[in-house]
Amino acid sequence: MTLTKVYDAATVFRHLNGILNVYKPAGMKVKHVRNAILSNICKGLNSMEQRDLRELPSKPHLLGTGTAGDDVLHKIASTPDLSDHILSSGPHYTPSDVRISTVAPLGDHTSGVLLFGINKGTGKASCIKGTRPVRVYHITGRMGTATENHLPDSHITVRSNFRHVSAERISGLASSMQASHQRKMYELCGVDLQTQAAYELACKGLIRPADNTHPVIYGINLIHFERPLFTLELHAINETEEYLAALVHDMALELRTVAHCAQIRCVRHSHFDISDSLLRHGWHLPGIMKNLRRHQELLREHPQLMHTRQANLQA
């Protein structure tokens, strides 16, 4: 498909719709990411070609006092309307002109994939959120020290020896936790794990919780180990930053040591991968438009993400 450069702000704004995938840095709040994106969108639109005052229809202006004794009343039809001038009306585009919503927030200490719906994409964002897709994290724990909130920016409360911890012990504990979470999901559905009903339920796909309050882990495994650091890959739904940090702390207690969460990074949200995330230096209008166009193709490739929206429309 041949792409044509567009310099008209109104045309670009009409096509500013879809799902945006940005890389959120650690230590940055979601609302600050949102504000930065809105500011850069408006800055880019306002720097493009706007309506020319010479093309605006001229309005007649009556000069005089308007009284019956006023014998000098001039009608000037050639003066352009200056009410649309930037010095009188301000910037053509402001953040309030752009609708934006977050698919699923990330914690302040978490980095990685963060999805936004822009303008008409806000409907798609709510649809993706309704399907509750799995998110994949790489979580790095540091053994030997525990903190108040299990995150690196808090005070150290406990120190412990960790020389007895091996990669095999962490992998075994991760497998046990994964099996425990899977068994719990079947129990919540009222199905015995060893029955035909459980097999038929598993054939239908992932068993998802009925609401957004219960975190569920579908997969957890060790991908890197180098004392005192270890990294887990975790597949989960309804998780929060506090839950993931507490999970690392609880795993360390099971291993007879202590640890805190040194880093949390979301590497995939459903089919939205970290390799397609827009880095901070690319949060400008051309980069945002390219990212929106890329993920329009991704949504066409995976129409199951829109099933909830289709069902609501049919209902």
| Res. 204: pLDDT tops 90 | no
| Res. 70: pLDDT tops 70 | no
pLDDT tens-digit map of 264-293: 999 999 999 999 999 999 999 999 999 999
What integer pLDDT is reported at residue 59 of this predicted model? Answer: 52
8 Å CB contact between 265 and 137? yes
Query: Which amino acid would we find at residue 175?
Result: S
Distances (CA, A) of 28 to 23, 189, 241, 269: 11, 38, 14, 19
Phi and psi at 14, nearest 5°, equal -65, -25
pLDDT band at 242 (very low <50, low <70, confident <90, very high): very high
Calculate what percentage of the chain has a pLDDT beyond 90: 57
Q: What is the distance in angstroms between the CA of the first residue and the CA of the last residue of the chain?
A: 36
What integer pLDDT is reported at residue 190 of this predicted model? Answer: 64
| Res. 248: pLDDT tops 50 | yes
Three-class secondary structure of residue 120 per DSSP: coil
| Res. 185: pLDDT tops 80 | no
d(CA 179, CA 197): 18
